[in-house]
Structure 1
Amino acid sequence: MKALHVVLLDDHQVVLAGMKDYLDQVPGVQVDATFSTSSELINNVRKQKPDVIITDYSMPKDDVYTDGMKLIAYLLRTFPDVKILVLTMISNQMIVSALYDAGVTGVIFKQDNLSEVLSALMAVRANTRYYPPSFKTNMGVDEHETTLRDRINNLSPREYEVLRHFVAGESISQIAEKLNRSAKTVSIQKNAAMRKLNVDNNQELIRYCVENNIFV
């Protein structure tokens, strides 16, 4: 059986090391390289294309290719023959659905068992899409988690993107330029997200997102 060549992208070295160690034990899977920035991965894939890219959704500190939906869309557009699996903490169904609509082969939730990475790769080999088991069934969570999840799930993909950049310390004008939107549109989307999260000001917004690890 031909080996499935995989490259990994995540800004957390522990996640990278754990996933590589796990996949190195799987027959028929070859991890060719691991990367901690989007630029490193893209520069490498331009030279030698793998079969699969497994990438984190939130990849900070890369001003060239950024991250989130913009990075995923770029990978899909630039490397149409490479299957894209997205690794994320996000369980917002609108955002996950937007990823599938964009053309990814699968979304793997970080909170699920590591064996789901293998399940996703098996789907790639079978030329089918992978859907995480906990996508629509989030049972056994406490009231706080339910409230938090419901608030986050109410955010639109665009509102989520704006918040993610804002909490990372970017100004409205910087976000507008990065996302190719007007500053007015970005401000409206941020304010709409604040209402959905039930926070009244920027300080509360940042504290809420950081304390609840929304953008891990």
Structure 2
Amino acid sequence: MVELAKTPCDVLVTDFAMPEPGPDALDGLRLIRRVRQEWPSIKIVVLTSVSNVAILRSILNAGAIGLVNKAEAIELVATAVRHAGIDRRYVSGSFVTALAEAGAETESSPEEPRLSPREEEVVRLFAKGRTITEIAKALNRDVRTISRQKRDAMNKLGIRNDPGLFAFVRAQGLG
């Protein structure tokens, strides 16, 4: 963040997950949100190998204008930067496909699905390592209800498995 304050730029290219060199280091969604807040005119291009649709959607919702898959050709970074320079969104082909399969828009700002308060509560507890049975007991609900709420939340987010749900919760800072 110090470099951005010292060096004016039009486009910031960043990796989604960078090793944290210090206690104040930012990456992922926290970095994108902070840049959007402090330097709203800077366009953000994010490089990532993440394939979790919910996280990809969150990256775009947080304010990234470019989203490049690290597994695709490196030349796509330059393409994304050129698009950002003319205020046009660029999303790698593989991500476009994944977002389209999940029903997420890529041209306009994709709207993040809203979880109900109960779904969010179940997801948070599950991400903290609680089992469905433990959550049901703690919330005084039926196991089938908790299971359905978890499944509904995952469907809304476009997440297909538990590791994907854990990754989403970690990326969002919900856990």
Q: How would you bin the TM-score normalised by the shorter chain?
A: 0.5 to 0.7
Q: C-alpha separation between the residues in 1 aligned to 2:19 and 2:163?
A: 23
Question: 1:77 aligns to what?
Answer: 37
Question: 1:58 aligns to what?
Answer: 17
Question: 2:91 aligns to what?
Answer: 131
Alpha-carbon offset, residue 187 of structure 1: 5.5
Report if the CA contact (8 A) 2:16-2:27 is conserved. yes
Query: 1:6-17 counterparts in 2 under 5 A?
Result: none
Secondary structure at the aligned position of 2:90 is classed as coil
Which of 121, 126, 149 is 1:188 aligned to?
126
Alpha-carbon offset, residue 186 of structure 1: 5.8
Count of matched residue pairs = 113
The percentage of counterpart residues that share the same residue type is 29
Residue by residue over 1:1-23, the C-alpha shift from the partner in whole angstroms, topping out at 9 and shown as x without a partner, is xxxxxxxxxxxxxxxxxxxxxxx
Q: TM-score, normalising length from structure 1?
A: 0.46
Report if the CA contact (8 A) 2:10-2:42 is conserved. yes
In structure 1, runs of 5+ residues without a counterpart are 1-41, 139-184, 199-204, 206-216
Distance 1:192-1:53 versus aligned 2 partners, 3 A rule = farther
Alpha-carbon offset, residue 189 of structure 1: 1.7
Alpha-carbon offset, residue 192 of structure 1: 7.0
Question: 1:98 aligns to what?
Answer: 58
**Structure with more relative contact order (C-alpha pairs < 8 Å, separation 6 or more):** 2
Question: 1:116 aligns to what?
Answer: 76
Alpha-carbon offset, residue 89 of structure 1: 0.8
1:87 paired with 2:25, answer no
Distance 1:136-1:130 versus aligned 2 partners, 3 A rule = closer
Q: TM-score, normalising length from structure 2?
A: 0.56
In structure 2, runs of 5+ residues without a counterpart are 99-122, 132-160, 167-175
Secondary structure at the aligned position of 1:137 is classed as helix
Secondary structure at the aligned position of 2:5 is classed as helix
Distance 1:51-1:73 versus aligned 2 partners, 3 A rule = same
Please provide the CA RMSD for this pair: 3.0
Report if the CA contact (8 A) 2:66-2:91 is conserved. yes
